[in-house]
Copies of this chain bind each other. A is one copy, B any other.
């Protein structure tokens, strides 16, 4: 993956900066790649660029192969990854490049106000956009309800921001990373109650890519492969008002149940997780829906340090969306990059001891599209 932050390179150039190292790391030749599964969420709106997959494939020297672009809001490249894994599993392709790219910062020439409207395109056009509901508001509504039901506090949410900022300083690709305090978070401006500025992930530019290969091919490559052992994908209702339960995030429960079943594990087996912390409250909801913590315990567990990189169930060792950054279409495969790095034991100062089973949780829109991926160290 590229560093997440601000980039002034074109989408083609930025994606190549992730894809070519991924191909090199896998030890395959560009001409051996037989399909391209690509994620980009907003290139049409931000830069008038659609139909990007063939252009990127040509730029990388892969012209001719089947290319497909996915868009499922912030879960875009996880969905591309799911389809790539399924295609390889079905024997349709042997070696596939998967990845995503996005430019979201003022480097695109669009200011934060316009970009906020662009992001809001993933909320409901008829019922939510006209009311001015943007994504800080969506997750604030979910989190406020969680505070009401379980007593979660703003200070507990702030502890998540502090943790993820702390993790981010050990990730050389992270947008942010610093030692922050709960007071820093609580003193930062309110964006959407209960979220302060430091509860929110940033707009980032960036790209990420991975190579997916059939097991018999993967073992012949030079680097250390990791195994994808389960993927679950479910959606919840859109708009938000149609959901049966606001704090449940049902799609995450259904998707993780399926992913665990496919991997033949339970949540207890997960050594660490990368979860979709677009806002601190989203990390609380995710850790509970995934069964990593009991319902209502997401806030207290974070405050007690249980989800720190040296805690019993580390969450977002990369820094998460909060500190690593969130270039929409690149976020899903960036989670896969972190799982791969950790399972290989290559994560340096943020390495989680002897991690052998890991989970990625990526969601799109109103906690609607949810994709949960289980990966394990190669036996």
Contacts and interface: CB of A to CB of B under 8 A. Distances in A.
Interface string A30-66: 0000000000011011011111011101100001111
Please tell me how many copies of the chain the complex holds: 2
Given A58-B237, A68-B79, A51 B87 contact: no
A242 B63 contact: yes
A239 B55 CA distance: 7
Most B-side CB within 10 Å, residue of A48, A66, A233: A66
B68 A234 contact: no
A63 B243 CA distance: 10
Nearest to A127: B55
A68 B72 contact: yes
Interface in A82-99: 83, 86-87, 89-90, 92
Interface residues of A, number: 60
A339 B9 CA distance: 44
B86 A73 contact: no
A353 B11 CA distance: 50
B234 A65 contact: yes
Interface of A: 10-12, 41-42, 44-45, 47-51, 53-55, 57-58, 63-73, 79, 83, 86-87, 89-90, 92, 117-118, 120-126, 129, 233-239, 242, 250-251, 254, 364-365, 368-369
25 contacts: A10-B125, A12-B126, A44-B118, A47-B125, A48-B118, A48-B121, A49-B121, A49-B125, A50-B71, A50-B73, A50-B122, A51-B71, A51-B72, A51-B238, A51-B364, A53-B235, A53-B369, A54-B369, A63-B235, A64-B235, A64-B251, A67-B235, A67-B369, A86-B92, A89-B90
